[in-house]
Amino acid sequence: MSIRVTVWGENVHEQKNKVVAQVYPDTMHGTIAAALNRAGGITARTATLQEPEHGLTPETLAATDVLIWWGHAAHGEVADAVVDRVCEAVWGGMGMIFLHSAHFAKPFKRLMGAPCNLTWREAGERERLWVTSRQHPIAAGLPDHFELEHEEMYGEPFGVPEPLETVFISWFAGGEVFRSGLTYRRGAGNLFYFRPGHETYPTYHDANVQRVIANAVRWAHNPAARIADPGAAPNRPVDAALEPITERGPRLHHDGEEGYR
């Protein structure tokens, strides 16, 4: 069965900025979704900030195996209730891929628990991504490095937690480096951060970039059933203990009570 992907795009600069509109006449999220639909085994649709609930209703998330997120100018306009819903879905097993400037998106900051800072420069300089984890599924079919002739620079320190795996590191012509491909797990959800994708450059038309994103979708997909309430903290009553124990000492809670949240 096909992996169901929702590509979420902020959809601001595509509408307001002529350069971006020319580079991405089908929008950035539309371009990414189209590439995924050509990749095989993936069915991608899009959702945007401007739709009701940003296009991320409970029903949409329930039918999304992997969510891709691109945002930049309008991080602050994303409703907290939607951010909560997205995080719950991730914890329950939805995969999620954050692209480029989504390093400061609300759900990324929430899932990282870290400042997510970096340095940046918009000069159309050369970026070269090196594969650091050989034969990693996210690097399948790639050469040992590939280049993007024009990209925005992001530089270290990148204020994220130590990842499970570092898959790519970028070299920039201006002298910086950046951990460009990082994997995480939060609850039952697999996360991947992938750096490239400044909106004034044709990055998402690049075949290697498209391949990374499709690989990451397959890697992030958790086929297990979604956990309905990943934060539930069930009481295990004494009389249902797996080993025979006797209740001892004073108690704060009553039988069958919910704990404090």
Which CB sits closer to a second copy, 52 or 228? 228
Enumerate residues 200-259 that contact a second copy by CB under 8 A.
200-201, 222-225, 227, 230-238, 241-243, 245-253, 259
- Please name which of 153, 152, 155, 151 lies closest in space to residue 118, comparing C-alpha atoms: 155
Q: Which two tokens stand for residue 212?
A: 């990374």
Which CB sits closer to a second copy, 50 or 155? 155
Question: Which of 29, 72, 85, 195 lies at the binding interface for a second copy (CB under 8 A)?
Answer: 72
Enumerate residues 116-155 that contact a second copy by CB under 8 A.
116-125, 128, 130-137, 140, 144-145, 150, 153, 155
CB 33 within 8 A of CB 43: no
Enumerate residues 84-123 that contact a second copy by CB under 8 A.
87, 91, 93, 101, 104, 110-123
User: From CA 147, how far away is CA 129, in angstroms rounded?
Assistant: 6
CB 194 within 8 A of CB 98: yes
Which CB sits closer to a second copy, 22 or 52? 22
Rounded to the nearest whole angstrom, what is the least distance from the CB of residue 3 to a second copy in the complex?
Answer: 15
Which CB sits closer to a second copy, 44 or 105? 105
* Three-state SS annotation for 174-187: CCCEEEEEEEEEEC
Binding string, residues 163-182; x marks residues near a second copy by CB under 8 A: -xxx--xxxxxxxxx-x---
In the three-class reduction of DSSP (H, G, I as helix; E, B as strand; rest coil), residue 38 is classed as helix
User: Within the chain, what is the greatest distance between any pair of CA atoms?
Assistant: 72
Residue with tokens 């996360």: 191
Q: Is 59 in the site for a second copy (CB under 8 A)?
A: no
Rounded to the nearest whole angstrom, what is the least distance from the CB of residue 44 to a second copy in the complex?
Answer: 23
Rounded to the nearest whole angstrom, what is the least distance from the CB of residue 5 to a second copy in the complex?
Answer: 19
Which CB sits closer to a second copy, 45 or 227? 227
Which CB sits closer to a second copy, 50 or 200? 200
Which CB sits closer to a second copy, 33 or 83? 83
User: From CA 91, how far away is CA 73, in angstroms rounded?
Assistant: 26
Enumerate residues 8-27 that contact a second copy by CB under 8 A.
13, 17, 19-20
Question: What are the φ/ψ torsions at residue 251 (nearest 5 degrees)?
Answer: -125, 150
User: From CA 90, how far away is CA 107, in angstroms rounded?
Assistant: 10
User: From CA 192, how far away is CA 150, in angstroms rounded?
Assistant: 23
Rounded to the nearest whole angstrom, what is the least distance from the CB of residue 251 to a second copy in the complex?
Answer: 5
* Residue spans of alpha helices (H) in 134-229: 207-220
